Structure formats: C-alpha cells, structure tokens
Chain A
Amino acid sequence: MSAELGAAAPLAVEMRQIVKIFPGVVANDHVDFEVRQGTIHALVGENGAGKSTLMNILYGLLHPDSGEIRIHGQPVRINGPRDAIALGIGMVHQHFMLIPVFTVGENIMLGREPVRPGGFYDHRRAREEIAALSRRYGLVLDPDARMGDLPVGLQQRAEIVKVLYRGAEILVLDEPTGVLTPQESQELFGVLRGLVREGKTIIFISHKLKEVLEVSDRITVMRRGKVAGHLITKETNEAEIARMMVGRDVLLRVELKPARPGPVALRVEDLSATSDRGVPALRALSFELHRGEILGVAGVEGNGQSELVEVLAGTRQPTAGRIALQDRDITELDAARVRAAGVAHIPEDRRGAGLVLNYSVAANLILGHQRDAAFAWRRMVLRLQAILEWARRLIAEFDIRTPSPETPARTLSGGNQQKVIVARELGARPTVLLAAQPTRGVDIGAIEFIHRRIVAERDEGTAVLLISAELDEIRSLSDRIAVLYEGRIVSIEPGNAPEDRLGLLMTGGTATPGGG
C-alpha cells in the first residue's frame, strides 16, 4: 500500500466544515476531513481533541451542528448508525460495543442475525458465517465463547469481525490498539493491510505515533477541535506530528538519572491467586521491590498482571503466599488498610475503578482518603474547605484541564481523567506506588507529563511497580524488568534489555538468563 496509489484513488469520505458544540466545548470547529479510497488514514490528537466526536458524527451517533458529509462523492445525511451501515460505514468504538453475557457469535450477528423460519435465531448459520470470515481474514474466534470471558485482544478482534460481517467498505477504528499488546497490534496491522488490499478504506485513531507511522498512508492531526494539519506519512516523523498535536516540542523519551535503590520496600513471597473465573492467575511468584527504583512488569495481557496489582492493593485476596511492606505483613489487610500503610494504586480500569464518574473532580481527588485526618474531622465530618484547597492545589500542580474543581469527572477527557487519578495517588506521598497501565489511551502530552511525575516519585525514594502493555513504556522507565508469563516471573531483566528478548520471554520462549 503506498501513498502514490492513494493519491490516484477517489475520495471515499469527505467531511466539510463540520461543527459540533457540546455544552461548554467546541468539540469540532469547522473540521475538514477527507479520506481516499483504499488507504489507511490516521487521525491523531490529544485527548479531547475531537477525534471520537468527528467519527461519531460520521457514524451517525452524533449530529453535526453544521457542515456536510459526502460518501463516495455523494452528499449524504447520516441520521443514525443504520444509515451509516447502509452506506457501508463500520466503526470499532473506543469503548467496546460488546455484550459480555452474549456469545461471540451473538455479538457479531447482532442486527443482522441469521434466522430460521419463524424468526428463530440460527446458531448453525451464525457459526458458518463466522468461520467463513475467520478463514477470509485470518481472524480466528470461537463463536460459542462468552464474550465476557475473552481477553481484550480477542474482544477487539470480535469488534472488527462484527464490522466486517456487516460488509463495511469504510472502517473506522477508534483507538483499536489502546488495549493491545505489541504482538496483537502487529497482527491487527496485518489484517488492516489485507483489508486495504481488498480496496477497503480505513480510518485509524491512535495515540501511539510509532504505529501511526508504521501503518498509515496519510495523517490528519487535530488539536482543540480544529484540524492542525494534514500529513503524508512517508514525509513526516514522530517529532513533527507530536509538535502539531501539542503545539510545542515534546520529549518522546524521558531521560533517566541512574536509580539509587534504597532498602527493600515490598517483599512478595510465593504469592498465588485466582482470577475472577476461579482459574489460577498467580503461581507462587516472588520478588523484591526497593525504594527508589522502578520495577517494570512486562507481559502479554492476561498473564496475571491485573491480579498481581489487585492482590498487592488489597482488592483481591491471595490464595497463598506473603506480602511484606517494610517488614510489616500486609497480606491479610483490606484495601483501606493497605492504602493507609502507604501503598498507592493507579488502577488499570480508569473509568470503572479509578473514578466515581458522577463525583466532582475535587471529590475524586480524595477518593480513598475521605477519612484522612486532613479531610475529615475525627474521621467523620468532611472538611469541605480543606478538600477544596487540596483539589485546587493538585489541579494546578498536575495541570488537570477542568473548568472547576466542581466539574463532574465524567465530563473530563480520558487523559485528564487519568491525571486526576495520578494526582490523587502521587499526592498521597506513598511508600509504594502500583501503576497499572498509567498512560493507556492518554495523549503524548499527558504521557510525557505522567512519566516525568513517576520518575520524580522514584527519585524521591518511592518504590514503583509499573505494569504496562507498552514495552516502550516499560523499557523507557524501568530500572529492572520482571517478565510475567502464566502467573510466574520467568525472568528479571535489566532495564535496558533488548525488545526482542523481552518479547520472546513474554511469549513463553526460554532464553538464557540475561542477569539482573
């Protein structure tokens, strides 16, 4: 797939002077956006730049206040997803549109279900359809598995098959790789290239510029609801895109002073735990975490990372083993006590576990500390004044973009939602920081900021456990890297361990220990 070829191709999508105003925000401000038939077009921009909004408009979920849309040259009015589907538009949403309690098959068929006479749902034909699609695009799925039981990678895959099943010619993928491992992302790109070869058109939203450069033909950059520029992938580079997005130069890689590890802060011995589905997730795993160091945990999603963090944070009870915080046994403590003991936790499920979305930013900034002496008189009566001042301080310090401390967290963009959590957890001046996917789905501006804060925290002497699906992130921040595979730590590598070696270890490949 090449840009030249793209240039020759006719326009599949033209969006002209699109304006969309939400209470208080101009999400799209006279946006011009066009995509050539048979190309992969990347759409990038900070959180809240307006990408999802623009795409939701294209898919009929939102209605523009003004502007016009042409599909294959024809002016169209898209009143809802039905119209979009009819126009051959398919969309994989930023937040999956999957029904956990349904089977993969039912999820994919939904809306275009095969039926036997009498309107009975036809399981057999559903299976056939899916098998066919799997063969054609190499996207293997078990139609009878319960969607909720699948790892995100496969759910992502199901979303794509869902779109293909509807025979979409124009595919919109809103942050499809946000939750994927490098391997999964690579597979996905393979699929996308295949689709484009078939003449399909793809719009691809991502915060990961590497991917964008790797897979796209053209790039549109958005900033604060406006188009900041159009680029041809081959003629640009990360730094340029980043500058366009943020409006200033961005450090794509934090430079680390060498760590000065202190005494052991967290000692984990033979820790075992089971997942929600009752299967063993952690198998007698042990490690030590020192003050003043960042220990990265690398691993393919679903190898026990989530459970590890939950157990350490006290939100999940271990089945065996021991956890010591500075020689104090915290194995049995509940979340509140663990927190009180000095363990801070940035949960991976930002919107579900990290925030009370309908609470104000200020209220969220004391979540978990509502009974601290500083915020509650006698641990009972809230000190609203103190809370408000605290909130103002963190909002300033962590540059949280919010109209006021009173604003409901729900209305913040994810990047800023994430900043709220980071601010809260770091604000607690913890002994140990558990950071799970701290920058998932967050734009590079915010990523840079969060990374700097984590490193600063380390230099202050905090012991940091960093879990991330981003090898880059792990490698750029960690002093040591523990590779997690099937609930065990298969190896502890130095922070500069080569990517391919880690990749190998992560996928169960045995490699000669590289020390550390």
Chain B
Amino acid sequence: MTALGDIGHLLFTADLWHATLAAAVLLLLPALGGVVSERSGVVNIAMEGMMLTGAFFAVAADLIVHNPWLAALVAILAGGVMALVHAVVAIRFRADQIVSGIAINIFATGITVFLINRFYGLQDVGHVPPAELLPNLQIPLLDQIPFVGRVLFQQNVVVYVALILLVVIHVLLFRTRLGLRIRAVGEHPEAADTAGIHVYRIRYGAVISSGLLSGLSGAFLAIGISNTFVPNMTDGRGYIALAAMIFGKWTPFGAFIACLIFGLGQAIYDNNSIIHVSQYLLSMLPYILTLVVLAGLVGRAQPPAADGIPYTPGIE
C-alpha cells in the first residue's frame, strides 16, 4: 500500500513528468519512423538496429568533430544508411521484410562492437565532454510557468524537435498529397501504380526516413541522455517503439500516447530508491499496464492493407 502512496505522491511532481516526456521521446522518434515506413507498406522492425547504429556513430563522430550538431547529423545519416539497406533488400529484392528487419538488428549489434574493437582496440570508446553534448534548452519565460514549465520547457533540444516532428508527420500523412500517396501505396500499391504513382520511390523515401528518425533517437540516447557508447545500449527500445506504433494503430499521436505510458513507467521505476516495493515488480508496471490497456480499451488494430507485402509491378 505504501508503494501506491509513494507513486501517488510522485504523480504530482513535475520532475516525474519531465522524466516521462524525455523517456517517451526516446521511443517516439523510432515509433514515428515505424509509422511512416509501415504506412507505405514496408514492415519495419529494424528501428532497434537503426537506433543503435545512430548511437554509435553519434559518439564516434562527436569525439572526432567535437560538435554535437554535426554528430547528430552523422547519426541521422547512419540510421538512414541502415534503413537504405532494409529498403533495398525489402523493396528491390522483395525479401521478407521481417527477416530483413531482424537482420538489420543483428547486424547493428555486431558491427558496432566489431568496429569498436577494430578501431578503439579494446579500449574505452571515450566520453563526450558536457559542452559537446546535445544541450538542454530552457525556453525563456515559458520555463518559468510552474509545473508545466519544468515538464515542457526545460527539456533537451531533441525533445522539442521530436514534438515538432510529431505534429509535422501527422499533418504530412493525413493532410498532404504526399501523405495521401504514401497511404495509397501502403493500402493498395497496384491501385497507386495504375494511378501513375512511383510505388518504389515512395516506399524508399518512407523507409529511409524511418531510419533518419531512429538515427536521431540514437543520437539523443548516446550524446543527449548519456555521453558515450556502450554495446547494445539501445536495450530493446526499438522493439518497444514497434509495440508503441502498433498500440497507436499506426498513427503518430496514437504511438505518442503509448510512448508516454512506457515513459511514465520508466520514470516511476527510476524512483525505486524511494518507492517501497520490489524494484522488479515495479519494473513490470508499464508492460502489464500496456497489456491491460491494449486488451481493454484499444482492441483490434488494422494495419495498412499492403503492409509487409512486397510489390511486384505488373503481376496482379
């Protein structure tokens, strides 16, 4: 009971929600990537790998160029390159998209550590000094607002970017011509093709952007939240993002809500030093919560009709 009391208390602290939002954004970026990719009909379970690659190159680059912005850019591109591989294999070679995704994830695990061992020897990758990390931004005035200011306007720069991207991607998907075409390609590529739309171009674009977003998330993880790379540091977040995307029924805001649930769970867990309950049971919280919500409220999710189906022009 005391445990619930402790948690109840926490829920009224701005710090908790501050942490929640940050943790959520880490998942939101790859989740958004997933939404875009799968809306175009390419199943993407490779966010984990793209994120990990992004994290590695963010640190590697930052240690060389000593500039977080450039480093983030490199990370984004690295994620994009991984996505490009997924795209080529899944679109051009019409491989099974799950196999390709799994392969990307395994590849990322291996190649990052392999590269560390090759280039940093068996030494420590090194630490990025605070001045060269992606900074926290206090939004002047707004950050003074009690509670809200702390929660929303004292965040890492990436958080703001992600929230903007959230809106942008929602609008893009559901209000613009490009969005219409992306969804058309994901629902019925033959129809899109016969209507004169470049199915492959759209899919390549969508998949690659999912990599860019995941790469950014990797940068946030490695040179925003932490200051170095450690093997496998993404630790399954890409898969959680995948779950969040489906939980959110392939919509940006739906995914965001799911990410908030996980973020909140993480944030509450982080307080295990003051919550009087087994830390292990505490950690189960977000996952069980998700199961309940999913079973109880969300229910059936309908993926894009052509999600996961390679398109072969001409063959009906």
Contact = CB atoms under 8 A, between A and B. Distances in A.
A–B proximity contact (CB within 8 A): yes
Interface of A: 56, 59, 61-63, 80-82, 85, 91, 93, 95, 97-102, 106-107, 110-113, 115, 118-121, 162, 166
Contacts of B190: 97
A430 to B, nearest CB: 33
Interface of B: 175-181, 183-184, 187-188, 190-198, 305, 313-314, 316
A117 to B, nearest CB: 11
Contacts of B195: 81, 97, 110-112, 162
Nearest to A162: B195
B192 A111 contact: yes
| A91, A100, A119 — most chain B CB neighbours (10 Å) | A119
A115 B191 contact: no
B194 A93 contact: yes
Given A102-B187, A115-B177, A82 B196 contact: yes
Contacts of B175: 120-121
A81 B194 contact: yes
A287 B103 CA distance: 60
B177 A121 contact: yes
Contact of B316 (A82, A95, A119, A120): A95
A59 B187 CA distance: 21
B201 to A, nearest CB: 11
Contacts of B198: 82
B178 A97 contact: no
B187 A61 contact: no
A81 B196 contact: yes
A111 to B, nearest CB: 3
| B195, B197, B198 — most chain A CB neighbours (10 Å) | B195
A93 B178 CA distance: 25
A110 B191 contact: yes
14 contacts: A56-B316, A59-B194, A62-B314, A80-B313, A98-B191, A99-B184, A100-B187, A102-B184, A111-B181, A111-B195, A112-B195, A119-B177, A119-B178, A121-B175
A95 B316 CA distance: 9
A207 B13 CA distance: 73
Nearest to B180: A121
Contacts of A81: 193-196
A115 B177 CA distance: 7
A91 B194 CA distance: 8
Contacts of A99: 184, 187-188, 191, 305
Nearest to A118: B176
Nearest to B316: A95
A68 B197 CA distance: 25
Nearest to A101: B187
Given A97-B195, A102-B184, A121 B176 contact: yes
| A80, A97, A110 — most chain B CB neighbours (10 Å) | A110
Contacts of B179: 121
Contacts of A56: 314, 316
Contacts of B194: 59, 61, 81, 91, 93, 97
A47 to B, nearest CB: 14
Given A80-B313, A81-B195, A113 B177 contact: yes
Contacts of A82: 196, 198
Contacts of B313: 61, 80
